[in-house]
Amino acid sequence: MPRDWSRYWRSPRPGLEAMHAHFERHTYHRHSHETYSFGVTDAGVQAFTCRGGGHRSTAGMVLAFNPDEPHDGRAGDELGFTYRIVHLAPELVADALSDAAGRPVGLPLFPDPVVHDPVLATALRRPHAALLGGAPALLRDELLDAAVRAMAGRASASGSGRSRREPASRGAAVLAARAAEALRADHRTDMTADELAATAGSSRFAIYRAFQAVYGMAPSDYRRQLRLRAARELLAGGAPIADVAAETGFTDQGHLTRWFVRCYGITPGAYRRAVA
């Protein structure tokens, strides 16, 4: 029998969350986080697609996702995988690096979503264990700062001399930005492709192609993600799940739950309990 399990933790401090999980059957739908996501595969094989290619992370390998970077995830074999991950808001990463440098610094970019580096793996396991283990806040902050510095120094583009893939054309970026702004203006509205194209001032095909190039997902996936992010904040505030579903544009509680699990690996109820 499959034995999928997960533990989730969210700090009262905004922009800091952590998860520890084992999945054999669960499959992540393509999604992204507004945070940096740094993880370690503890056991098994974790397979995923990111930046147009397939990747596999085995025991001891480090995961590094930039903010808003689309990816999915699944077990690489029948035994599944166990992993731990920390989600850090960009401003927390910037604060840690600027504090260490003694001056404002830019945000790092991580060119490789999988890195084989035992030093980084150890640096990430320590704050993760502190977060889920209820360690004192001062110790948590110290370990997180150390992990961020290690990640930026050993795995970021500035540290390795490598860069991310070529950006989309300026025209595609402008078009995608217009469409994204329209979706953000009211993610609850069931806008059609024709309505979105008219708002952005282009054809449906051009919108779709530009959105895929810039955001790595279709406009419909982007809108659903906006709804899920809004749902997370309402759940963190203790709102009833059924009310959250209605408020964020999902058909009902079951509809919200299915997509919440597919993108985050836990139910809305489990997420709300972790916050509490």
The pLDDT-based confidence of 167 (bands split at 50, 70, 90) is low
DSSP classification of residue 180: H
Q: Using one digit for the tens of pLDDT, what is the confidence trace for 66-102?
A: 999 999 999 999 999 999 999 999 999 999 999 999 9
Question: What tokens were used for 156?
Answer: 């970021």
Please list, in sequence order, all residues whose beta carbon lies within 8 angstroms of the beta carbon of residue 145, skipping any fewer than 6 positions away. Answer: 96, 99, 100
Residue 41 pLDDT: 98
Please list, in sequence order, all residues whose beta carbon lies within 8 angstroms of the beta carbon of residue 86, skipping any fewer than 6 positions away. Answer: 16, 17, 18, 37, 38, 39, 124, 127, 128, 131, 144, 147
Kindly provide the b/e burial profile for residues 237-265, where b requires at least 16 CB atoms within 10 angstroms of the residue's own CB: eebebeebbeebbbeebeebbebbbbbbb
The pLDDT-based confidence of 188 (bands split at 50, 70, 90) is confident
Mean pLDDT of the chain: 91
Is there a contact between 218 and 211 (Cβ–Cβ < 8 Å)?
Answer: yes
Is there a contact between 16 and 10 (Cβ–Cβ < 8 Å)?
Answer: yes
Helix and strand totals (H; E) in the chain: 11, 9
Residue 75 pLDDT: 97
Is there a contact between 39 and 124 (Cβ–Cβ < 8 Å)?
Answer: yes
Q: Using one digit for the tens of pLDDT, what is the confidence trace for 107-133?
A: 999 999 999 999 999 999 999 999 999
Q: What are phi and psi of 218, to 5 degrees?
A: -75, 155
Residue 163 pLDDT: 39
Residue 2 pLDDT: 59
Of 200-214, 226-240, 253-267, least confident by mean pLDDT is: 200-214
